Structure 1
C-alpha cells in the first residue's frame, strides 16, 4: 500500500518502454513485483524513443502528485515530457523524456562531462549523443523533484541501469542533491568486448589495462561513465558473482549488493497444462520439420527430440562454437551406438538477411497444399463412407475406400506429392544471408559436412531471425516454440546473467547453461541437485574448449537416452524449481540495495 512517508523510488533505464535488449526484459518482468511492494511510490523514467509508444502508454492527466508537478514544471520549460501508465502487468507510472529537446545544448553538455568529470566524450557516436542529452533531462527531472517539489522533505531513491542511464549519478553526487542513488551494471561494456575478442579473457582478467583496452575498442567514454557511476553511486550492484569479479577488475570496484534477475513466473507457469502445451506446440514444430525435411527423406517424429539455442549472434560468447563441436560429437556417438532417435537442432539468432530462402518457402507451401488435399479427401471419404454404411443391407463390410474417392483428388494427391519430393538434401539455413561467406556458424556446418545427410542422426536448422507468430515458417511465437522443444542449450563463455535458460526453466523445458554465466553460477549455489531438476551446468571455468565441448556432448547424449516418462517428470520438477526465480522472491535483493543507499546517503550528510 502506498505511504507518502516512504521514499519515492525512480527507476531509470534506456529500455523503459523501449525494447532494445535484455534490460527491457529485466524491467518489464520486475514491474508487477515492484508495484506490489512499493505501490505508487514507484515510478519509471525512460527515453521517448519508441515511435509506437501510444500503443502501450496511457496518459495521466492528474498532475497533483510530486511526479506530476515535476512533469508540469518541465512542460512549462517547453520540454516534451510524457507522463502516464505503462500498459504492462502492474501498470506502473512512467515518465518519458525526449532527448532531442536539448539538442541545441549538446556541445556544452559534452564539455561539461569533460571539464567536470574527465569523460572523453566525442561527437562520433549517435547513441552516446542521445544518452548525454537524455542524461541532462534526467538531471533536470531530479533537480526539480528534489529541490523545488519535495524540498528535501521526502526521501528519493534514484536507481540507474547501465551506463546509458547513469550520467545523473555524477551530477547528483557533485551537487549534493538530497537523493540516494543506486547504479546497476548488467554487463561491463569493456568485458563484453574483451570476452568476444580474447580466448583467455578470464585468465587475464586481472592483467587488463582498462583505459588502454577501452581506447583500443573505441569505447573510452562509455567505460569512463560506467566506472565513475560505480564509484559515485551510494550503492553499486550487479546481477551475478561472475560479473562482480569482472567489475572489480575492469571498473575498480566490488559490487555492494548482487541483484540476480528474475521473471514474473505467473506469466509462464501452466501447472497441469505443461504437458498438454508441450504436445500442442511440439506438433507445430513437427509441421515445420515435415515441410523442411520430408520432401527429401523422412524419420520417425515420435522418436525425435528438438534441441535449440537462441540469443544474440555472439559466436563465441554465447557458446555457439562449442555447441557445434558437441553436436558433431553427438552425431558420431548416436551413429556409432545405433541410437534410432533423431535430434533436430535449431539455432535461433538474428542476422542480416535478404529474405527467407525461396526453396524453404516453396517446400512448406507445397506441404500445406498436400495437407489441404488430404483434408478434402478425408471429408469426401467420410461423407461417402457414412452414406455407404447407412445404406448397406446385408454384408456390412467395409467398402473399397479407393472407390469412394473421385479420380480428380487421386490425381491431385499424386501430382502434388510428386512435385514436392526431391533428391536434394534439406538445406541448413532457412534464410538468404546478406554475408554468408563470413558467417562463422554456416562456415562450420559446411566445413564439417554437417549438412543434413540422411545418415546423420543430428539434423541442423539455422534460423537467422526471431520466431514470431507472424513467421510464415512456424506460425507460433518464441515462447510457444520453446515449450514445444525438449532441451535448450546455452553454454555461454560470457553471459552476465542469461535469461534464455531461465525462460526454459519457467516453461518446463530442460536447459544446459554454464558456470561462466550468472544464471548457471547462481543455480550451482542455490541447489546442489539442479541436474535432477533439469538444469545442467557445464563447467567452463578453467576448462579447455575441447574438453568443454566433449562434456557438453555427453550431457546431450545422456538426454537423448532418457525416456519420455523421465522427461515428463523433469518438466514438473522444472516448474516447481522456477519459483526460486520469481521476482516476488528476488526483489528482496533490490530492497537491500535501496536500504543500503539510504543509509550511505544519510551517513554522507552527517
Structure 2
C-alpha cells in the first residue's frame, strides 16, 4: 500500500516533529495501534521532518524495525538532523539504532537501549526525588526501564536541537507516563523543544474505575496521592503528573478524560486529540459482503464442532455477536453485556421467535490448556467431514457412470453406491461424536475457574448452553489467531464474520474495538462513557442508521443501562437479512469519518499551540 504524496504542512514548514512512545516497534497495548495507524497520515504531511523515538528491545524490534547500517548512516545526507543526532550519540558511545519502522509510511525511527545506562540509575533516581519528589522503589524493573529511557530521550533531544539551525524548531510529542520522565528534565534544563504530552488514560483513573462502581460520582473527592500509594503506583502517577505540568501543551484523547485530568492530574488539558484508524488498511471496496460470508462460514465450522455434538440448530438463522478486549470485567462492560444477554435470552424464549444467538467473549485469561472435550469434538467433526467427502467422491463417480451407461432416467438409490466400509465408518464416527452433555461455555481450562467473574455470572444465571437457551455462550480466554486449532483465522477475519460487536464500557478513555468493527463494515455497540462513543454522539448525526449504537451510562443506574442494551439487542435480532445487509452498507460507508487523514487536524492544532509557547 502506498502512502499518498505529501501535502503542505499546515503547522510550520520549518519544524521537526519527534513522536516519543514506549510502543514504537514494541507492542504492549492500545497505544501501539494509535501510533502505528497514525503514521501514514503523519508522514504524508511531515515527510522527512518526522521521526519516532522509542526504547530498543531487540526481540520485539526484530520483526518490525529495519536498521540503517553504519556505512549508510555515515553517508546519509548531511541535512538529515535525526541521522546527525544519532551519529553524535554513537560517537559518544551510546547504543542507538536508526532506521525505519516496517509499517505503512516507513517512518524514520530512533530506538535507544535503556539498559545501557542502568549503571546511572542511582543518580537518575536521586534527581527525580530531589527535583520532583518522585520516589522509585528498588525492585520494579519497568520503572527502571522507563527512567533510564527518560534520560536517554532527553539526551537525544538535546543533541537534536544542537543539530538544527534557526529558524528550524523541534516539537517533542510524548505519549503516556512511560515516556514522561524526560519532560520535566527538558524544561528544567531549558532545552529548546516545544513539548506536547498526551495521556490516553490517567493511570490512577483506570485503577479507581476498576475498584469503584461509582467512580465518576466520587472523582471530585479523590485524594490522588493517598490513592496512588494505596494502589502501589505512586512513582508512575507522580511521573504522569510531572509530565502533564511540564509540557507546553497537555492533551488527552476524549472529553471524558478531561474531567479525569482536572481532578487527578490538576491540569486542564489544552486540547482533545481523538483517535482514528488508517481506514485504507481495512478497505475491501465492494468485497466486504463476500468477506462476511466467507468468514461467517469459518465460524459456522467452529459452532458445528462446539454445539452439534450435543444438539443442532439452523445456522442460516443464527446471529454471531461478540465482545473483546482486556479482561476488565467492570471497566469493559462485560457485566452489563452478560446481564443484557440473560434478559435477551428470556425475551426471545417468551416471544416464540425463531433463530439463535451465539455470543463470543474474546479476552485473555491465564489457562492451563484448551478443554480436551472441545479439541476432540473439533477433531472428530473434521473426521466426519473427511468421511462425507470420501462418500461424496465415491457416489459421484458411480452416479456419473450409472447415468452415462444406463437407460433408466430415474435417480438411482444413492445409498447402494456407498461401500459397506464407508457406511460403517460414517456410522461409527457419528456415534463416537454425539453426546448428551451440554456444550461447554468456555473453550479452555482456566487457572482459576472458581473465581472467574464471567463464569460465575453464567452459572448464577443458568446461561450454560441448554438446548432451550436461545442465547448460547462461547467464552474464549485467548486471542483469536490463525494458529488456533479452534478458529484458525485472524482476529480481523473473525470480526468480519460476526454480525455485531458489543462494547458498552464503563471506563474507556477512547476504545478501538468498536471503531475497528466499523472499519470492517460490522455494526457495533459502544457507550457514552467511552471516548469513541462520546465522540460519535457529538459528531455523527443519525449514528444508529450508520450501525453505531451508544448505550447511555452517564448518570444512569446499572439497571437502566442494562435495559437499554437489552432493547438494542432485541431490536437487532429482529432485523431481517436484507435490513442487516443495508445496515452493513451504511456502516462501511461511514468508516471514512474516523480516518486519521480527517482527525489529524486536532494534532496540527496542538502542535501549532506548542510552537507558540516558549
TM-score range, shorter chain: over 0.9
2:168 aligned with 1:154, yes or no? yes
Does the residue aligned with 2:215 lie in a helix, a strand or coil? Answer: coil
2:492 aligned with 1:499, yes or no? no
Determine the structure 1 residue equivalent to 2:578: 565
CA distance in 2, matches of 1:152, 1:445: 65
Residue pairs, 1:100-249, within 5 angstroms: 100-147=115-162, 149-150=163-164, 153-249=167-263
2:51 aligned with 1:43, yes or no? yes
2:610 aligned with 1:597, yes or no? yes
What is the TM-score with the length of structure 2 in the denominator? 0.96
Do the aligned partners of 1:146 and 1:152 also contact (CA within 8 Å) in 2? no
Residue range with higher mean Cα deviation, 500-509 or 545-554: 545-554
2:316 aligned with 1:302, yes or no? yes
Determine the structure 1 residue equivalent to 2:383: 369
CA distance in 2, matches of 1:179, 1:311: 36
CA distance in 2, matches of 1:443, 1:240: 33
Distance 1:17-1:433 versus aligned 2 partners, 3 A rule = same
User: Aligned to 1:99, which of 114, 122, 126?
Assistant: 114
**Segments of 4+ in structure 1 off by > 3 A?**
1-5
2:417 aligned with 1:389, yes or no? no
Determine the structure 1 residue equivalent to 2:33: 25
State the 1:318 CA deviation.
0.2
Determine the structure 2 residue equivalent to 1:546: 559
Determine the structure 1 residue equivalent to 2:373: 359
CA distance in 1, matches of 2:316, 2:565: 24
Determine the structure 1 residue equivalent to 2:3: none
Residue range with higher mean Cα deviation, 313-322 or 114-123: 114-123
2:466 aligned with 1:453, yes or no? yes
CA distance in 2, matches of 1:57, 1:538: 41
Q: Write out per-residue CA displacement over residues 183-236 of structure 1, whole angstroms, 9 at most, x where no aligned residue.
A: 000000000000000111001111111111111111111111111211111111
Does the residue aligned with 1:312 lie in a helix, a strand or coil? Answer: coil
CA distance in 2, matches of 1:43, 1:490: 34
State the 1:396 CA deviation.
2.2
Consecutive unaligned residues of structure 2, counting only runs of 5 or more, are: 1-5
CA distance in 2, matches of 1:313, 1:388: 60
CA distance in 2, matches of 1:286, 1:49: 40
CA distance in 1, matches of 2:61, 2:401: 58
Distance 1:165-1:362 versus aligned 2 partners, 3 A rule = same
2:540 aligned with 1:532, yes or no? no
User: Aligned to 1:576, which of 589, 592, 596?
Assistant: 589
CA distance in 2, matches of 1:395, 1:425: 48
Do the aligned partners of 2:67 and 2:99 also contact (CA within 8 Å) in 1? yes
User: Aligned to 2:431, which of 414, 418, 424?
Assistant: 418
User: Aligned to 1:276, which of 290, 301, 320?
Assistant: 290
User: Aligned to 2:483, which of 455, 463, 470?
Assistant: 470
State the 1:271 CA deviation.
2.6
Do the aligned partners of 2:180 and 2:242 also contact (CA within 8 Å) in 1? no
CA distance in 2, matches of 1:278, 1:119: 52
State the 1:78 CA deviation.
2.2
Determine the structure 2 residue equivalent to 1:515: 528
Do the aligned partners of 2:323 and 2:502 also contact (CA within 8 Å) in 1? yes
State the 1:124 CA deviation.
2.7
State the 1:460 CA deviation.
0.4
Residue range with higher mean Cα deviation, 404-413 or 181-190: 404-413
Determine the structure 2 residue equivalent to 1:604: none
Determine the structure 2 residue equivalent to 1:82: 97
State the 1:528 CA deviation.
2.8
Q: Write out per-residue CA displacement over residues 549-580 of structure 1, whole angstroms, 9 at most, x where no aligned residue.
A: 11111110110001111110111111111111
Distance 1:246-1:254 versus aligned 2 partners, 3 A rule = same
CA distance in 2, matches of 1:428, 1:349: 14
Do the aligned partners of 1:506 and 1:578 also contact (CA within 8 Å) in 2? yes
Do the aligned partners of 1:113 and 1:119 also contact (CA within 8 Å) in 2? yes
Determine the structure 2 residue equivalent to 1:405: 418
Residue range with higher mean Cα deviation, 180-189 or 119-128: 119-128
Does the residue aligned with 2:59 lie in a helix, a strand or coil? Answer: coil
2:17 aligned with 1:9, yes or no? yes
What is the TM-score with the length of structure 1 in the denominator? 0.97
CA distance in 1, matches of 2:244, 2:61: 31
State the 1:401 CA deviation.
0.7
CA distance in 1, matches of 2:408, 2:554: 75
RMSD: 1.2
Does the residue aligned with 1:213 lie in a helix, a strand or coil? Answer: helix
Do the aligned partners of 1:271 and 1:575 also contact (CA within 8 Å) in 2? no
Q: Write out per-residue CA displacement over residues 368-389 of structure 1, whole angstroms, 9 at most, x where no aligned residue.
A: 0000111111111111111111
CA distance in 1, matches of 2:289, 2:99: 40
Do the aligned partners of 2:331 and 2:507 also contact (CA within 8 Å) in 1? yes
CA distance in 2, matches of 1:158, 1:410: 72
Does the residue aligned with 2:462 lie in a helix, a strand or coil? Answer: coil
Do the aligned partners of 2:26 and 2:60 also contact (CA within 8 Å) in 1? no
Do the aligned partners of 1:281 and 1:480 also contact (CA within 8 Å) in 2? yes
State the 1:120 CA deviation.
2.0
State the 1:52 CA deviation.
4.3
Does the residue aligned with 1:51 lie in a helix, a strand or coil? Answer: helix
